[in-house]
Amino acid sequence: MIHVKSAIEIVSMRNACRLAAEVLKETGKNVQIGITTKELENIANKKIKSLGAKSAFFGYRDYPGIICTSVNEVIIHGIPSYRKLNDGDIIGIDVGVVYEGFCGDTAKTFAVGKISENTEKFLKISELSLNKALDNCFAGQRIGDVSSVIQKTAEENGFSVVRDFVGHGIGRNLHEDPQIPNRGKAGIGVRIPESCCLAIEVMINEGTWQVELLSDNWTVITADKKLSAHFEHTVLVKKGGVEILTVC
Ligand code: MF3
Ligand code: CO
Ligand code: CO
């Protein structure tokens, strides 16, 4: 069931999402050659605490991290570790917070030092696919209308979309209905109601769409070890379009 938010709930969603965006911004500022993903997690943790919020990820289905840090071939759910970032790496940082009983969820993939021209194009197209999905999301649209533009944008540029993980509704719970796949057909799927909140997330692979799960049971990597990028915003769906909530 898709939960439609009341005016009061929307106020709290805005607050929670703004804080998630602030944490992502602060953490992203610290991405640099030589830093470990654990150090980035510590920075995020401090910021979350200083804002009076809580991590929405820590302890969720026993996830052991405060944030997710997904380097290069890691698609999502990278657990912060003593892995150091190298020149030319990319890192997806995913932040979820709970505040006033509501969740905000946002992710962005950052360049470390100087990345190649190909990698730069890859990140640009991945972010574009999220932006196009946001442009195509408004009350009355179907899920397939959003999913299909993600797939089209990625594939027409020679990249692939992840099939095994999806975007999601969000509210009091991190993951609510509906699911928002990265692939689909326009005109297909359930209609998106006004005043629902969605975490639209694109997971784009440079090579194959196929994934592998590491033995930690969290880290998802590309089967061919090529790069993967992750961009995510939590939005409020309105008549004419979305209000992006994870901004600051
Ligand atoms: N943030 C992820 C998402 O965008 C979910 C993280 S799973 C967790 O949906 F266990 F790490 F919380
Ligand atoms: Co997320
Ligand atoms: Co999400």
List pLDDT tens digits, range 148-204: 999 999 999 999 999 999 999 999 999 999 999 999 999 999 999 999 999 999 999
> Distance between alpha carbon 113 and the CA centroid of its chain, in Å?
22
**243: nearest Cα among 194, 209, 202, 175:** 194
Quick check: 108 and 124 in contact, CB under 8 A?
A: no
Ligand 3: distance of its center to the CA of 104 in Å? 9
Residue 1 lies in a domain: no
- Ion ligand 3 neighbours (CB, 5 A) are 105, 199, 201
Take atom 3 of ligand 1 and give the residue whose Cα is closest.
Answer: 105
Ligand 3: distance of its center to the CA of 232 in Å? 7
pTM for this predicted structure: 0.98
Take atom 8 of ligand 1 and give the residue whose Cα is closest.
Answer: 57
Take atom 4 of ligand 1 and give the residue whose Cα is closest.
Answer: 105
Tokens representing 39? 């150090």
**Mean pLDDT within 204-212:** 98
pLDDT band for position 53 (cuts 50, 70, 90): very high
Parent domain of 119: 7-244
Residue 2 lies in a domain: no
Number of folded domains in the chain? 1
Per-residue pLDDT, 69:
99
Residue 213 lies in a domain: yes
Residue 130 lies in a domain: yes
Residue 156 lies in a domain: yes
How far apart CA 51 and CA 211 sit, in angstroms, is 35
CATH of the domain at 219: 3.90.230.10
| Per-residue model confidence as pLDDT tens digits over 89-141 | 999 999 999 999 999 999 999 999 999 999 999 999 999 999 999 999 999 99
Q: Is the distance from the beta carbon of residue 232 to the nearest atom of ligand 1 less than 6 Å? A: yes
**Mean pLDDT within 205-216:** 98
Q: Is the distance from the beta carbon of residue 206 to the nearest atom of ligand 1 less than 6 Å? A: no
